[in-house]
Amino acid sequence: MKVRLLRALQSQGVGSRKVCFHRLRRGEIRVNGEVCEDPEAEFETDGLVFTLDGVDWPYREHACLVMHKPAGYECSHKPSHHPSVFSLLPSLLLERGVQCVGRLDQDTTGLLVFTDDGQLQHRMISPKKNVPKIYRADCAEAVSDAQLDALRAGVQLNDEHAPLAALACERASARGLRLVLAEGKYHQVKRMVAAAGNHVVALHREGIGDYRLPDDLAPGTWRWLDSADLKQLEQPWPSAMS
């Protein structure tokens, strides 16, 4: 598919039409390695790469990326008491309007997905899609068999009409457990563990669907997701983790 250069730059978060026009005219943008000052020039989107300020940006119809969220960051554009996870992203992604796919508490770490694809976001967070979210929780006290059984069977939370049950729950260590949920309700893991008779002191999201947080992705850093990654992210339970 061919696209006019000015429209392509706008779609990739470079800036407004006026900003893109002037940056092209000043020769600040390379297209496939060459300076192009013609905003009406047409290019094939397949393999298209822009270079801005020395950084290459491959053309992507949708922005889909994963971050290793560090502790002490809020998943909000208007944080209350801590810095925003969006401050860890480059301005081009912010201009594209990427949003978190499900939020993590400020003290929770691990896998956090961002995208500007509303349909993808819906498929990943809708309980009807049954996409599992995998958490590792470290608890204040030893995890008992009774607590594991309660989490699997369902615990009653104050503001819920019916008990909430984990898709799966297992002991990960003496004071740790691995919990799989299909929903993403407010403080859900912490509240469920509390209702079962324990207390979460540290929480980490390890995976979504069949996708796991890469071992080499350092806290506070991000990377693009490819089509294979996205397929893994949308894998429903119970086919995921098989």
Q: Which residues contact 151 (CB under 8 A, 6 or more apart)?
A: 165, 166, 169, 177, 179, 192, 193, 196
Same domain (yes/no): 21, 139: no
Torsion angle defined by CA atoms of residues 8, 14, 19 and 24, in that order, rounded to the nearest 10 degrees: -60
Instruction: Classify the C-alpha dihedral 194-196-197-198 as positive or negative.
Output: negative
Same domain (yes/no): 110, 219: yes
Give me the amino acid identity at 108: T
Q: How far apart are CA 23 and CA 242, in angstroms?
A: 50
Q: Is the pTM of this model over 0.75?
A: yes
Does 110 map to a domain?
yes
Same domain (yes/no): 50, 69: no
Same domain (yes/no): 36, 141: no
227 φ/ψ angles, rounded to the nearest 5 degrees: -60, -35
- Domain containing residue 191: CATH number: 3.30.70.1560
Question: How many C-beta atoms lie closer than 10 Å to residue 28's C-beta?
Answer: 14
Torsion angle defined by CA atoms of residues 78, 80, 85 and 87, in that order, rounded to the nearest 10 degrees: 60
- Name the region of 227 (left: φ>0; alpha: ψ -120 to 50; beta: rest): alpha
Same domain (yes/no): 95, 45: no
- Domain containing residue 69: CATH number: 3.30.70.580
Domain that holds residue 54: 2-58
Same domain (yes/no): 122, 173: no
String of DSSP letters for 87-134: GGS-HHHHHTT-EESS---TT-EEEEEEES-HHHHHHHH-GGGT--EE
Taken as a whole, the chain contains a residue count of 242
Same domain (yes/no): 221, 102: yes
35 φ/ψ angles, rounded to the nearest 5 degrees: -70, 130
Same domain (yes/no): 82, 182: no
Instruction: Please report where in the chains the tokens 């615990």 appear, as a residue.
Output: 155
Question: HSE on the CB side for 137, CA within 13 Å?
Answer: 30
Does 240 map to a domain?
no
- Domain containing residue 36: CATH number: 3.10.290.10
Q: Which residues contact 81 (CB under 8 A, 6 or more apart)?
A: 74, 106
Does 238 map to a domain?
no
Question: HSE on the CB side for 35, CA within 13 Å?
Answer: 8
* Residue among 72, 206, 197, 71 nearest 140 (CA): 197
Count of structural domains, the chain = 3
Does 90 map to a domain?
yes
pLDDT value of residue 36: 86
Does 242 map to a domain?
no
Show which of 33, 58, 83 is a domain's final residue.
58
Same domain (yes/no): 221, 165: no
Catalytic annotation on 116? no
Does 53 map to a domain?
yes
Please give the helix or strand (H or E) that residue 171 lies within, else none. strand 168-173
Does 191 map to a domain?
yes
Same domain (yes/no): 9, 121: no
Same domain (yes/no): 51, 106: no
> Which residue of the set 105, 107, 117, 138 is catalytic?
105
pLDDT value of residue 241: 56
Same domain (yes/no): 122, 220: yes
Spans in the chain with pLDDT lower than 50: none
Show which of 35, 58, 81 is a domain's final residue.
58
SS3 146: helix
Does 169 map to a domain?
yes
